[in-house]
Amino acid sequence: MSAFDPEDSIYAHARYFCHLAGEVKRLIDDNKVIGGHLTLTLMAWDMGLEAVEAAGGMPIIYLDSYPFLVRGLFAKYTADAGASSTTAPRRLPSRSPRRPGWRRGGGPRRRPHRAGRRGSARRSSRSLFPSRNSFYTYAGLTEEMKKFPAFAGTGDETTRKRELAAFLATVDHESGGLVHIEEINRSAWGDYCDTSQPYGCAAGQTYHGRGPIQLSWNTNYKAAGDALGIDLLNEPDLVKTDSSVAWRTALWFWMTQTGAGTMTAHAATTGDAGFGETIRTVNGAVECGGRASERVQNRIARYKRVAAVLGVQPEEEGKLTC
């Protein structure tokens, strides 16, 4: 094997990355770090394994960190895998495997203070969702985000942060601060079964709101299940019993469904429409057009609060409402 041979070099890099993935998995299993497996492996590639352990992983999402820059770099190519493209991706600074604890340039990397960085991240998490149900984990969210690389990975840093803020504000509103796993007052709404659909509804099942975005109606459970390869029409409770399914359906709806609007929430936040259109997509038939202005203002307030925590300026006021 020669360090000057491109194929040998790629092979060596791949072996090192797989080694890091195994070591990161061990840290996760030992509850020494918090975060998604791929995210923390990329973090270890960038910083070194010791630094990842010292930082306690990544308890909340840092969109300007190396793992999420990599996600954003390839988001378009994964989302448009079937389309040909002649545009090269934006290059990141070149990186190579390096000894854990050492920075590029040869000098030792200063070991982050465990209580400082990890404690700060957790304080930010608690400030967003102080009463969060343990069913909803940040590691679970980041792990499912890998399946939707364009989410919070499209556009410049401001756009990416605004989309993440909009999504977190939406699930904050829908789930009561990531507290409720299923709809509280579902008895007032019936079984959410659209009987006009050819597939109908499974016997004994209801399709009330479940999960962080409160997925509702048999039509959405059927569409989500078909897209994700899960039989949610017959087993809708998977959205309230399996955290990964809960986050995945929320991201699926955000990225692919137009709801009561004319565009997906992803398109609204990465285009020129703004946060107000995400409200229309998620629950516009009930809230928009002056039908429930108090709820709309509540969503806007949550969005502004999350945006402040993430360090991004919201859009102008005219784009926040519906």
Which active-site residues does the annotation give?
A: 174
- Reference 262, options 285, 239, 228; nearest CA is 285
Is the sign of the CA dihedral 148, 150, 130, 116 positive or negative? positive
Residue with tokens 């990141």: 92
Judge residue 264's burial from the number of C-beta atoms within 10 Å of its C-beta, 0-12 exposed, 13-18 middle, 19 or more buried: buried
Sequence letter at residue 194: D
